[in-house]
Each structure stands twice: as C-alpha cells, then as structure tokens.
C-alpha cells in the first residue's frame, strides 16, 4: 500500500529516468493536496501519473484538432464511425472499433462539433486509450455513447470538493446569469493543464481570467454576477481503471518509477508513506 499525504517535511532525491518531467509535476500536485491518496501498489500510482499526462496531451490535441463547439441541436460527427441522435448524442456504430472511432475525432476534427462536457469526456476516453492500449480499451468501452456526462461506468467518475487542482483534473466554471438565448454557455467544463492554465472546448487553453471573461460575454443583458471557477473537481477512478487493464505495464510492487523530486518516504508495516 502506498499513501501520499501533505506534511511539512521535504526531502530531495533523484527521480528515476522513466518518469517524465510532466509526471513529476503531477506527482508534486498530488503531494500538495490536503487529502491522502492511497494506492495498492506502485503500479496504480504510476498508472495515475501516466493517465493524467495522457489527459493533458489529449486536451492539447483536441484543442488543435479543428473540432468545433456546438449546442446539442447542432452536434455533428463523422458518419463513418458515429450516428448523431435527435437529442445531440453521438453513438458509436456497432460495426466500428471504439478505439478507432475515438482516434478519428482527433484526426478528422472538422467533421465534429459538440459542447464542452462531451469534449471533456472525449479527452478522458482518449487518455484511457493511450494509457491501456487498443485491445483493453475496446473491451472496456465497447458501447461508447457521447452525450454530456453520460459516461461508461468503467471510468468511475467522481466529483469532490476542491479549491486546488492537480494537472489532469476536470473543473467547472459556472455562469449563473447566462443569456437564455445561449444556454450552452451556462458554464464551461475544463481540464486543468497546470501552471494556472485550463482547456475549455470552444474557448481554448486559457487562464481562468480569460475563461471567465469569455463566459461573461455570454451573460444576459443587465447581468451583475460574474462567471466563476467552482471549488469542485471531477476525477476518474484511476485505481479501478488500472486494475481493469492487465496490459498496463507500469511500476510493480517494488515501487519503481516513483518520482522523487520532493518527498519523504516512511515505511510503516506493509504501507509506504510519501510526504511532501
């Protein structure tokens, strides 16, 4: 068992070569949070670091893909892989590979248009795919249905209170006085990219002030309440996902791959504690 928690102790050690600089930054984010994160072994911790890194990569790729922002009524998708239902949902064709269909969104972005919650879910699916591989992904996500927050239960999404975020977290900007003529701008689901930058579909990779300004431009006439970044975070169940994928070959019970940038180790019984 590995437990990560915040304390006042710091210790510097060399990071292993197989841990990227971005994964080290994500690890420091875990250490900075007030709650304790628990993992059965180093494999599950390495999985979370890897998938969070893939989440940031997928967010950048979707931002650059040419996929447009649209309300549910104007949703579109490549008919080679998907069918668009009357409510704006995007359903995987039964004769298509789930992995190939998700990749196509990033390859043929201009054929697609969807709102921000769907975009975040697409980013998470792509991150899972790039972490566990095609065979495991197709087994877990065989009936992909893209519609707002309707997600496969294997993602294990959970929303928790949080005022500080870890790169790869899903956050929400609320716009309480949105113009009723454009309800799709009632808020913005976004990915925290690190360094106070966020990816929001239809807005881009921006600072929180820039995203709030964009939402404020979509308020009703005479509005006096600003949009704001809420103190909540949505995360996949990384441990569950890692245990569902035998193909992931991260660290083992010997805890290889733990980034050692700034932390203190303490072995207590069968548990390894990592403190900031």
Name the burial class of residue 82, with classes exposed (0-12), middle (13-18) and buried (19+) by CB atoms within 10 angstroms of its CB. buried
In a domain, 193, yes or no: yes
Task: Answer yes or no: is pLDDT of 251 > 90.
Answer: no
In a domain, 265, yes or no: no
In a domain, 271, yes or no: no
Task: Answer yes or no: is pLDDT of 247 > 90.
Answer: no
DSSP assignment of 214-247: HHHTTBPTT--SPPEE-SEEEE--HHHHHHT-TT
In a domain, 73, yes or no: yes
Q: Mean pLDDT across the stretch 12-35? A: 73
| Greater model confidence, 18 or 141 | 141
Q: What is the largest CA-CA distance in the chain?
A: 62
pLDDT in tens, 176-227: 999 999 999 999 999 999 999 999 999 999 999 999 999 999 999 999 999 9
Angle between helices 42-64 and 98-107 (to 10 degrees): 40
Task: Answer yes or no: is pLDDT of 229 > 90.
Answer: yes
Phi, psi of 101 (to 5 degrees): -65, -40
Q: Mean pLDDT across the stretch 25-37? A: 85
Mean pLDDT check: name the lowest of 21-30, 35-44, 57-66, 246-255.
246-255
pTM, two decimals, is 0.88
C-alpha distances in Å from residue 276, one per residue of 11, 28, 30, 233, 253: 8, 8, 9, 21, 22
In a domain, 266, yes or no: no
Structure-token match 């309707």, residue found: 150
In a domain, 261, yes or no: no
Task: Answer yes or no: is pLDDT of 256 > 50.
Answer: no
The reported pLDDT for the residue numbered 254 is: 40
| Greater model confidence, 275 or 145 | 145
| Closest among 69, 62, 78 to 111, alpha carbons compared | 78
pLDDT in tens, 103-135: 999 999 999 999 999 999 999 999 999 999 999
In a domain, 221, yes or no: yes
Number of compact structural domains in the chain = 1
Domain that holds residue 217: 2-11+19-246
In a domain, 260, yes or no: no
Task: Answer yes or no: is pLDDT of 266 > 80.
Answer: no
**Distance (Å, rounded) from C-alpha 86 to C-alpha 94?**
18
Residue 180, CB-side half-sphere exposure with 13 Å CA sphere:
1
The reported pLDDT for the residue numbered 188 is: 98
């Amino acid at each position: 068992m590995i437990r990560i928690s915040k304390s006042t102790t710091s210790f510097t050690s060399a990071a292993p070569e197989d841990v990227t600089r971005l994964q080290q930054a994500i690890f420091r984010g875990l250490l900075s949070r007030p709650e304790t994160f628990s993992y059965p072994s180093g494999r599950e911790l390495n999985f979370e670091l890897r998938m969070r890194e893939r989440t940031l990569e997928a967010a950048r790729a979707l931002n650059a893909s040419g996929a447009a922002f649209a309300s549910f009524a104007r949703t579109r998708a490549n008919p080679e892989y998907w069918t668009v239902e009357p409510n704006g949902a995007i359903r995987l064709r039964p004769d298509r590979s789930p992995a190939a269909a998700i990749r196509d969104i990033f390859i043929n972005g201009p054929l697609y248009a969807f709102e921000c919650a769907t975009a975040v879910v697409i980013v998470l699916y792509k991150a899972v795919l790039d972490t566990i591989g095609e065979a495991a992904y197709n087994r877990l996500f065989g009936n992909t249905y893209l519609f707002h927050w309707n997600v496969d239960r294997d993602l294990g999404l959970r929303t928790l209170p949080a005022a500080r975020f870890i790169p790869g977290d899903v956050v929400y900007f609320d716009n309480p006085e949105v113009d009723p003529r454009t309800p799709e701008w009632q808020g913005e689901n976004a990915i925290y990219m690190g360094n106070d930058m966020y990816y929001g579909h239809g807005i881009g990779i921006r600072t929180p002030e820039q995203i709030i300004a964009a939402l404020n431009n979509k308020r009703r006439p005479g509005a006096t309440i600003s949009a704001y970044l809420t103190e909540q975070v949505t995360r996949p169940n990384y441990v569950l996902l890692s245990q569902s994928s035998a193909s992931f070959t991260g660290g083992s019970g010997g805890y290889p791959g733990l980034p050692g940038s700034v932390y203190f180790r303490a072995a207590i019984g069968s548990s390894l504690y990592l403190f900031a």
